[in-house]
Chain A
């Protein structure tokens, strides 16, 4: 058939990436990020946006340079998504109404403490004898505030983005915890494969670093406490890794069927060849000790891409720098790739940008595609004390120039969420 080159090994439309945008603590835009990432620079700093008194972790990869109203999770997340979408659409050379669905990985929204404090001050002295919410209810019943409702609604960010970019249908706001960014891409791929649309706009964004989020993760013993040397705190696969470094960021991708991209003469930046999700029923925050679900997720992504174990040239690891994740991830990838493991470079972007939570899967997909395009693998920095139980080629400390044709990007999250993407430079 004439259009065979546009269909994959299962006869489905091949999904191309035609635009990308990214923002992290390293900077705004692909160029600044890629320059910093391949130079091995860290974006992790001591937190200055809010007081860190009493906190056991006082560092993070925060974005304080963007033109976002800094006090507000919604506005920060909105800004990262909007900026990276604009960059992605410009690269894809799409202007005007986007005309396809929007899939947005975004953090769960809660009212800001500032808002509770301000409401608390407004409650009349005589009404202060009940719990805070009962007090607020009485106040809001007399003086409603629809703007406040919007600011604490989960659907607000996507709704505003849908208006700005002219996406079609109900935008989907999703969370699969730390796998969310990868899930957004997977939803976009599925929609194109279903034949429901020729293009989708997908993004992950997370501006949710607050004192409360730091404390919550600290209470689960998830965060690094290397406060004295922030740039060295995120140390995936090392023996003295002690937790992840919380961070902010965003990334957006324009996905198109290869046939539609080709028809309009768009530049193809890479192919999303395979994706797979598989839930783990073992525990709320820990993975099955045998790595079964993570292994099944990786194998499923390879199978979906029509590749065998010998088909992957590089792994962009989840690599959070927690004792648990890095051990489990090694178990999973070494189980899948077996004897080939020493020959596959595996690096963690999180060593430089920290863990961008909801956005991580999308950001790391963008960096994976950059590796496919440029033939440069970003390093795993701070790799000075290898964990002997994790014998990997981590692209230690210095970038490596080596052409690759395919990359596996892993994402694993609380709640047993596993998602893996396989990206290729060219259609199979």
Chain B
């Protein structure tokens, strides 16, 4: 059996970043905050979902990246957010108007499902109570109440489909599903394709909308939600469980020589991405992270920043943090979950984006939580370490391009 991760033939670089978070829209809303010396103060909404604080969608004019009203109407916010962030990444890479480049560009999207119609679902649950013919009630209500277009807004692969329609990205189009791991696979496979010469440019990313009651319903069933922050309603209080955050994060990955040939600005090289899953019994989560670290960043002393894509579940986060401390004792640790919340499929893409911005900057990455250590020097090599709420570990490495 050959090595799963041979040294790649071609370098993969990040040339465009599109970011929407609770902190704001676009890199402009983030870069200044990420260079400060003070910890970021999270933006939280305590009211949109009772007892479940979220890092909300910022104020956003969809027309900025989705000019046609007809296109906007075909989507709900989850797809709109992804299409918007993808457009920002293309703009940032200077490829938005390059129809030829977009026509050949490969698209990788990590997706959950789109919005359900909460009103229709509520109507059916109410109508079915106490009935012994619930399935017939269901048929009757669904046939009369469902909007035809909502199906397309719900379909997982229609986030990619809408990116194709709005931005004319028409190479291959692949949608990966599976919570946090989907975000890892999107980068792992895009990286592998470019490294092997199977692709020149990929648009890779995800979107997650935290204030959706249908999504919160899903996550809450796991029983790991925050209570401390919800009770205090004080943004400076450290959560003691999962707090969801809205994030749209897309990136343009390019084969280095293609990026250089068009004079693109290069944020960072994406050196390696690797993920794995399995039992978390005893110390197997830790062992898996150590194995992954050995694959993506064996030269531990070169790593000066670790961006932890941890989910905000104290037990998981602590185990990951202990592994990181063992692997990279001298590196600065940053945990986006405190400032941005957990964004499931988008958590890994967001962390890659923050790491790329950090190694591209001439200053250290700002503390993302009150108890984060101050960074001393700008980072040159950053590792992203990820753990899903329920399953999946991953590591990636980005380096300053020079």
Contact = CB atoms under 8 A, between A and B. Distances in A.
A226 interface: no
18 contacts: A108-B154, A128-B126, A133-B121, A134-B213, A137-B220, A153-B218, A154-B113, A154-B182, A169-B275, A172-B185, A174-B174, A196-B4, A199-B1, A212-B138, A220-B152, A279-B170, A280-B170, A416-B164
Contacts of A54: 136, 139-140, 143
A155 B213 contact: no
B6 A196 contact: yes
Interface string B120-162: 0110111011000111101110110011100110111110111
Contacts of A219: 146-148, 151
Given A137-B50, A293-B170, A284 B74 contact: yes
A43 B142 CA distance: 27
Contact of A414 (B146, B152, B171): B152
A146 to B, nearest CB: 5
A212 B151 CA distance: 10
Interface in A390-424: 413-417
A132 B173 contact: no
Interface size class of B (residues with CB under 8 A): 35 or more
Contacts of A135: 125
A114 to B, nearest CB: 8
Contacts of A164: none
Interface in B380-395: 388, 390-392, 394
Interface of B: 1-6, 49-52, 74, 107, 111-113, 116, 118-119, 121-122, 124-126, 128-129, 133-136, 138-140, 142-143, 146-148, 151-152, 154-158, 160-162, 164-165, 168-179, 181-182, 184-185, 188-189, 192-193, 195-196, 198, 213-214, 216-225, 274-278, 388, 390-392, 394
Given A119-B125, A136-B217, A155-B388, 19 more contacts: A108-B113, A108-B155, A117-B128, A117-B134, A128-B126, A133-B121, A137-B213, A141-B51, A162-B278, A170-B181, A170-B394, A172-B178, A173-B176, A177-B155, A219-B146, A281-B168, A281-B169, A415-B158, A416-B170
Contacts of B124: 113, 116
A169 B274 contact: yes
A279 B169 contact: yes
Contacts of B142: 211-212, 215
B171 to A, nearest CB: 7
A373 interface: no
B289 to A, nearest CB: 14
Interface of A: 50-56, 99-101, 106, 108-111, 113, 116-117, 119-121, 128, 131-138, 140-141, 144-146, 148-150, 152-155, 158-159, 162-163, 168-177, 183, 187, 190-191, 193-199, 211-212, 215-220, 277-285, 293, 413-417
Contacts of B188: 170
Given A137-B220, A195-B2, A414 B161 contact: yes
Contact of B390 (A110, A150, A169): A150
Given A120-B128, A155-B178, A196 B5 contact: yes
A272 to B, nearest CB: 15
Nearest to A194: B196
B221 A140 contact: yes
B390 A173 contact: no
A39 B294 CA distance: 55
B4 A168 contact: yes
A211 to B, nearest CB: 5
Contacts of B218: 111, 149, 152-153
Contact of B225 (A52, A99, A141): A141
